[in-house]
Structure 1
């Protein structure tokens, strides 16, 4: 990869350049902040049920924190590239890495979860399972690649659609972000039919068939290496590793803090796990940490302080790992996430992960919301998809009534069955937890009455 060809200010849609005080990538960040899809993340579950007497993270607060960490990673790596590869950079590129890479990574982090449906990963599972369980009736309606999209429904691929797709009656290009920002969220730059466990950039998939041409534009404009033409497979863009690291850092650590505030994890266990991680990265810092803890007596404040120190430690570790593996990242041979490399060197993060699975992700409240969310999402799809796939002339009155609940921007009557189904998925996957639950209760007759 050529370091001068990894970024561009080209955007999706018919968008004319505008000369303003912000950079193109700062404008990306602002466009995401003001988008309705981003606002809806405030009522999408991260891990724990929403809301409660104790405020816990949702998808929106998680995304803001990931963007904060991502900005730090982008700034430090940008400085590294501009200093160590100065002779390889033209003037525009040197300016980009010094001053603008941090904006790209922050914007990408901000929208990395924007394609995730309500109720966390159980929402994704419900959508994929719906098609698996109705394969006999539905599969003949799609070609092989379209069917692979549906039975492997994935939030990462959906993010590209949410951010780039032109909905009915709306402007071309979706949110109209730069290709640089969009390339930075493409963790799995391949078609669904090419997904393969054990290969980091093919563990899942990165775009729906409907978005393939847009994705190829993004890949070509940002220098992504093509691994295969059929099926389409690319190597990861170098910026993806930073977005992934920021996300991994936050969800590995923040869930522990939430669990502590909810009383699921006690202070001693949480403190011990965090201190062990700090020791493994920066043992010289432990005396200062202990001195600070001797001053702080409030349990929540102690955990917040340690959380900040742990995140800082993991940022520094991610930076050193990225730098040490820079050649592999650039030539497309890197095969492990930055924090996975750290796990091989130290058991501290692995222990936090093990503890989280045992004490947090298998907690009754988390399991209950996952079960409830799965059923809500599945039933919503079952209400709309059997009706939308019918020809207009074949629809009964109850089909027509069901489809009246779908906003017009999600209805593609002139499109293929695949287009129509994706429209329903746009509607259902974009719902917040509360909206999905309310609609489910109404269509099932559990709650009848007028609400505005």
Structure 2
């Protein structure tokens, strides 16, 4: 390895190495100032899909207020956590950051409700899956470069995005994990290069770290947003494992502390404790499984980046609390019902009247392929921000639901 490149740094034997990347689909000359994984990160940050995350719902519809998390702020927080863990473990921080920054690209407007509705609309045409849509965006839909569609990312970054939650299929191509008993999503099945990503193996440790950083960010910051929205109160946290302990620590050390500082102190303690737990457990698993190379990581029968058993139990309790008190709160569910109608209406009108879509989304349609128009409509809607979907509905319909 050359010593005159500023981006070189020591890494563990089991880390991904940009100098040994499996390359890009279309070969490109290397950069003298950036590693291949750094170039991936930069392409992701400068992409259209990344900017759109600014106005896409995390939990609260982006029209509801300026201080709630959006897909963009969430992705930045995940990237920060992933880099912190990767640095301590000797992993490639740039690869972990790339996966973290792009992991939500495929999400529709209006959060999970938008995804559920779009999946129902596409039931007869291959369905919709946000992880597969991220892959579709990065390999086909982004159109910025003269020589290729997509971003032409490295094999390792695409692998990390595809296997965000672990292997997708067994060696025979049958779905496992979240795809058990189902065919793989259309975006994977329709890409002849997809199997080259070896969906039956574990992802790199960098990708595993990005995935668990996603969980950590959700837990800490959805508590914060739930408190900010008034869906939960600080007193409600006393009985929540881990979180209640932190609340008592804060009250003992800082009696009478004002509410905003208490909220922040809880969040940062949750982040710190979970990050430290993942680092310790991951090290234990690496040692116990004798992992000494990235090939050993991919061949391992289990994920290596993980919570310890006690922390995993506490984390499940936090998620259950958030599910009941925040994600399924009556006010949140009422908005979900209304935004679902917006997505369904848009899909219906674009399918019946494709001339209402911009020209670029109607070009080169094959009348003989009945699935092509629905997939084009799906791609168009999935790429919308909350704000743009709302505006499109107002343009095309006489009445649009109030989302505030």
Q: Please indicate, yes or no, whether the TM-score normalized by the shorter chain is above 0.5.
A: yes
Give 1:77 deviation, angstroms: 2.3
What's the counterpart of residue 357 of structure 2? 405
User: Where in structure 1 are there 5+ consecutive unaligned residues?
Assistant: 79-96, 136-146, 225-232, 280-285, 388-398, 448-452
Q: Report the Cα offset of residue 125 of structure 1.
A: 0.8
Which of 311-320 and 154-163 deviates more?
311-320
For residue 427 of structure 1, the aligned residue among 380, 386, 389 is: 380
Distance 1:38 1:334, change over 3 A: same
Q: Which runs of 5+ in 2 are unaligned?
A: 1-12, 292-296
What is the distance in 2 between the residues matched to 1:170 and 1:31? 10
Give the aligned partner of residue 180 of structure 1: 156
| CA deviation after TM superposition for structure 1 residue 10, in Å | 5.4
1:90 aligned residue: none
Partner of 1:115: 106
TM-score after normalising by structure 2: 0.80
CA distance in 2, matches of 1:362, 1:423: 32
> Match of 2:374, SS?
helix
Number of the residue aligned with 1:128: 119
Question: Hey, what's the Cα distance between the residues in 2 that align with 1:249 and 1:38?
Answer: 21
Distance of aligned partners of 1:276 and 1:445 in 2 relative to their CA distance in 1, 3 Å threshold: closer
User: Any idea what the Cα deviations from partners look like across 1:188-245, whole Å, max 9, x if unmatched?
Assistant: 554798435xx3675985661465333234x2xxxx4xxxxxxxx5123133321210
User: Does the alignment pair 1:311 with 2:258?
Assistant: no
By how many angstroms is 1:173 displaced? 4.0
Q: 1:265 — aligned with what?
A: 232
Distance 1:291 1:15 in 2: 59
Task: Provide the residue aligned with 1:92 in structure 2.
Answer: none
User: By how many angstroms is 1:61 displaced?
Assistant: 0.4
Aligned equivalent of 2:138: 163
* Cα distance between partner residues in 1 of 2:144 and 2:370: 20
Choose the corresponding residue for 1:436, options 386, 389, 398: 389
More helix by share: 1
Q: Aligned partners of 1:6 and 1:342: how far apart in 2? A: 30
Shift in Å at residue 155 of structure 1? 0.5
Per-residue deviation, 1:69: 0.5
Q: Distance in 2 between matches of 1:234 and 1:272?
A: 40
- RMSD of aligned alpha carbons: 3.3
Aligned to 2:4: none
Give 1:113 deviation, angstroms.
0.4
- Please name the residue that 2:306 is paired with: 338
Identify the match of residue 215 of structure 2 among 248, 263, 267. 248
Residue 187 of structure 2, aligned match among 208, 211, 222: 208
Compared CA separation, residues 207 and 184, structure 1 to 2 (3 A): farther
Matched, 1:362 2:328: yes
Q: Distance in 1 between matches of 2:251 and 2:153?
A: 45
Question: Structure 1 32/274 Cα, relative in aligned 2: closer, same or farther at 3 Å?
Answer: farther
Q: How many residues align structurally?
A: 371
1:164 Cα offset (Å): 1.1
Instruction: Label 1:170 to 1:207 Cα distance change in 2 as closer, same or farther (>3 A).
Output: farther
* Whole-Å separation in 1 of the counterparts to 2:144 and 2:42: 23
In 1, Cα distance between equivalents of 2:387 and 2:26: 35
Match of 1:23 among 24, 28, 35: 35
User: How is 1:204-243 mapped onto 2 (pairs within 5 angstroms)?
Assistant: 205=184, 208-209=187-188, 212-217=191-196, 219=197, 224=198, 233-239=199-205, 240-243=207-210
Aligned to 1:395: none
**C-alpha distance in 2 between matches for 1:207 and 1:67:** 28
Contact 1:277 1:310 (8 Å CA) reproduced: no
Q: 1:195 to 1:371 in 2, by over 3 A?
A: farther
Distance, in Å, in 2 between the alignment partners of 1:379 and 1:158 is: 21
CA spacing shift, 1:176–1:210, aligned 2, 3 Å: same
**Mapped contact 2:121–2:347 kept (Cα < 8 A):** yes
